């Protein structure tokens, strides 16, 4: 029993770990420790300082770029931004996290605007269309600011929208319609920039030459604060990479506010930072996915190992269950052995054989005058009759002792049979062989027969001829012993006088067989039916809640199923074990029809 308790505790621990891993959500929420969080925040601050440190160098530079350099940087950044936006929108499409949708759309909208005015900035386009440079001087800053403001506002709202609306119930549909709406708005803004007179964006005589760009930088700073708050709450690796991207764009946007004309040092560096700002989430996304896949593979390996341990534990616990049944039945038989031994000891103790010794002494005393003693002495006259009566009594005692000896030998043979049965199954555990399912059912009944007899259970057998089953005999025995034992307890807890247990064997399909264990005991409530195979669930006062769980696992290992049905409390229950035949079609049935006895009697 100590072994069984130990196996049960170990199995509970393993099963809990398996459930924890199996229920782990893999939406990519890889949380970091506090130390990792502070380290990453320090890295982000250091990046901002390093990017900002170029200001003195840029302020004193006389560098002047060209339209083609600007256009090349712009289109490169735009392509990276489109890829980053598409990746995050695709992630929302798969997992439904609205934060990823809004981040992806923010990058996508800004990158689309950048791509348009990046193409228009090429000198070849100006020569082809004859567009005056003065018009581009207004159009390019206008679309630049519009894209950055849209990006900042969407990013600023993203954590709030995610917090208010939660996960998307239909991410596929939402992706389509939201993306279409955002792209239409973006296209409308771009078209309007061609036809609507744009205000002046650049004021070269001011310290802050582009106040609108500074405004977009402030919006991005607010968005950065929101994402840093989100990161500190969730400690999510991808959120940190998005925050790093926003921080890079903030520095670039601040530098852009100092640009006094197109293609000056601040202008081109701001666009280089834009390339970095778009590249950072792409790098982070790739590293993030790599971390997820690595962690998932590790968890899958751990889950496989835990499943293996759980199967081993369930197998050992199942063997312990069978062994417990064997010991229980051996104990019941030993009670009968003890009764027989005590009766024989009592009969020997009170035997009249002592009278034979006294008669013998009397005869020896009168050996010289035995004839005279028998014919003349009163005691001698009584001696022949006494010896006759004594002989009759001794014969009766002998017959009674022989009866008890026969019962004792029968009980000892029963013990040997039970132990031999357990050993035969224990020695072939894990071996797949062709078995007669009816014989296996009878073996399970034999292991439980003493308990069934003690509770006055009437057994009915309903065996239909079926083909041999190729399976693991020991696992099938474990399952059946547990089902019969549960039925026995359900019947013992019932107040019914007619306690019946029916074992039915038949075919459930062309290539499947079933064993049904039916009782008319206490029944099962609807609530408990849905939980009855869960690990740890039990309705027994001293139950462990592992037997049926273990049996369900064993049935699954055998390629079968274990199910239960009940009409409710007091209406009994039916457990059905289905198994595949695992045979070729030309194999003949070996189980024979075994009709129930004319008068059903309690099994013994």
- pLDDT tops 60 at residue 582: yes
Per-residue pLDDT at 248 = 94
- pLDDT tops 50 at residue 586: no
**What is the tens place of the pLDDT at every residue in 428-446?**
556 788 999 999 999 888 8
Per-residue pLDDT at 183 = 78
CA distance 580 to 457: 30
Domain map (residue ranges) of the chain: 64-286, 351-426, 431-580
- pLDDT tops 80 at residue 340: no
CA distance 435 to 561: 18
Per-residue pLDDT at 385 = 81
Q: How confident is the model at residue 425 (pLDDT cuts 50, 70, 90)?
A: low
Label the pairing between strands 458-463 and 500-509.
parallel
Q: How confident is the model at residue 222 (pLDDT cuts 50, 70, 90)?
A: very high
Cβ neighbours of residue 185 closer than 8 Å, sequence gap 6 or more: none
Read off the pTM: 0.53
Alpha helices per DSSP H over 98-132 = 98-120, 123-129
Task: Classify burial at 304, counting beta carbons within 10 Å of its beta carbon; exposed 0-12, middle 13-18, buried 19 or more.
Answer: exposed
Best CA proximity match to 586, nearest among 471, 470, 472, 467: 467
Say how many C-beta atoms besides its own lie within 10 A of residue 498's C-beta.
Answer: 10
Q: Is CATH 2.40.10 correct for 64-286? A: no
Cβ neighbours of residue 561 closer than 8 Å, sequence gap 6 or more: 555, 576, 577, 578
Q: How confident is the model at residue 587 (pLDDT cuts 50, 70, 90)?
A: very low
- Looking from the CA of 420 toward its CB, the CA atoms found within 13 Å total 6
Pick the CATH number of 431-580 from 3.40.190.120, 3.90.740.10, 3.30.565.10, 3.40.190.10: 3.30.565.10
- pLDDT tops 80 at residue 593: no
Per-residue pLDDT at 46 = 95
């Amino acid at each position: 029993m100590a072994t069984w308790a130990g196996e049960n505790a170990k199995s509970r621990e393993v099963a809990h770990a398996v459930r924890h891993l199996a229920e782990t959500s893999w939406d990519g929420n890889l949380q970091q420790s506090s130390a990792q969080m502070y380290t990453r925040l320090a890295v982000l601050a250091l990046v901002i300082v390093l990017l900002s440190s170029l200001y003195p160098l840029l302020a004193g530079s006389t560098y002047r770029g060209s339209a083609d350099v600007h256009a090349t940087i712009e289109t490169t950044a735009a392509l990276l931004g489109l890829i980053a936006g598409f990746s995050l929108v695709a992630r929302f499409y798969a997992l439904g996290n609205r934060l990823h949708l809004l981040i992806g759309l923010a990058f996508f909208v800004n990158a689309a605007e950048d791509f348009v005015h990046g193409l228009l900035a090429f000198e070849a386009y100006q020569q082809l269309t004859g567009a005056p440079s003065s018009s581009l001087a207004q159009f390019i800053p206008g679309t630049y600011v519009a894209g950055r403001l849209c990006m900042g506002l969407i990013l600023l709202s993203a954590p709030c929208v995610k917090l208010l609306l939660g996960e998307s119930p239909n991410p596929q549909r939402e992706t389509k319609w939201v993306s279409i709406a955002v792209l239409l708005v973006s296209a409308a803004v771009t078209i309007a920039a061609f036809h609507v007179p744009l205000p002046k964006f650049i004021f070269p005589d001011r310290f802050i030459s582009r106040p609108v760009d500074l405004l977009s930088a402030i919006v991005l700073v607010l968005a950065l604060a929101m994402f840093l708050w989100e990161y500190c709450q969730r400690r999510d690796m991808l959120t940190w990479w998005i925050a790093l991207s926003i921080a890079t764009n903030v520095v670039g946007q601040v530098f852009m506010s100092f640009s006094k004309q197109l293609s000056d040092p601040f202008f081109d560096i701001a666009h280089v930072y834009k390339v970095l700002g778009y590249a950072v989430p792409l790098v982070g996304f790739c590293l993030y996915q790599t971390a997820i896949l690595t962690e998932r593979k590790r968890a899958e390996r751990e889950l496989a190992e835990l499943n293996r341990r759980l199967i081993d534990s369930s197998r050992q616990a199942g063997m312990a269950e069978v062994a417990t049944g064997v010991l229980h039945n051996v104990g019941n038989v030993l009670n009968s052995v003890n009764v027989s031994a005590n009766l024989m000891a009592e009969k020997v103790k009170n035997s009249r054989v002592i009278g034979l010794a006294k008669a013998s002494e009397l005869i020896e005393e009168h050996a010289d005058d035995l004839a005279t003693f028998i014919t003349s002495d009163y005691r001698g006259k009584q001696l022949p009759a006494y010896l006759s009566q004594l002989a009759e009594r001794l014969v009766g005692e002998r017959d009674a002792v022989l009866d008890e000896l026969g019962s004792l030998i029968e009980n000892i043979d029963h013990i040997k049979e039970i132990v031999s049965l357990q050993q035969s199954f224990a020695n072939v555990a894990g071996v797949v062989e062709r078995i007669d399912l009816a014989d296996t059912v009878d073996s399970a009944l034999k292991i439980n027969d003493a308990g069934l007899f003690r509770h006055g259970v009437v057994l009915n057998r309903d065996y239909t001829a079926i083909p041999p089953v190729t399976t693991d005999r020991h696992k099938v025995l474990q399952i059946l012993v547990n089902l019969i034992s549960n039925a026995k307890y359900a019947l013992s807890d019932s107040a019914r006088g007619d306690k019946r247990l029916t074992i039915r064997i038949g075919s459930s399909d062309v290539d499947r067989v079933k064993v049904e264990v039916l009782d008319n005991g206490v029944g099962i409530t609807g609530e408990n039916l849905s939980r009855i195979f869960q690990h740890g669930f039990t309705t027994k006062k001293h139950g462990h809640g592992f037997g049926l769980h273990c049996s369900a696992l064993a049935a699954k290992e055998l390629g079968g199923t274990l199910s239960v049905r009940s009409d409710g409390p007091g209406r009994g229950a039916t457990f059905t074990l289905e198994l595949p035949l695992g045979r070729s079609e030309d194999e003949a049935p070996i189980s024979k029809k075994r009709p129930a006895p004319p008068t059903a009697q309690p099994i013994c």
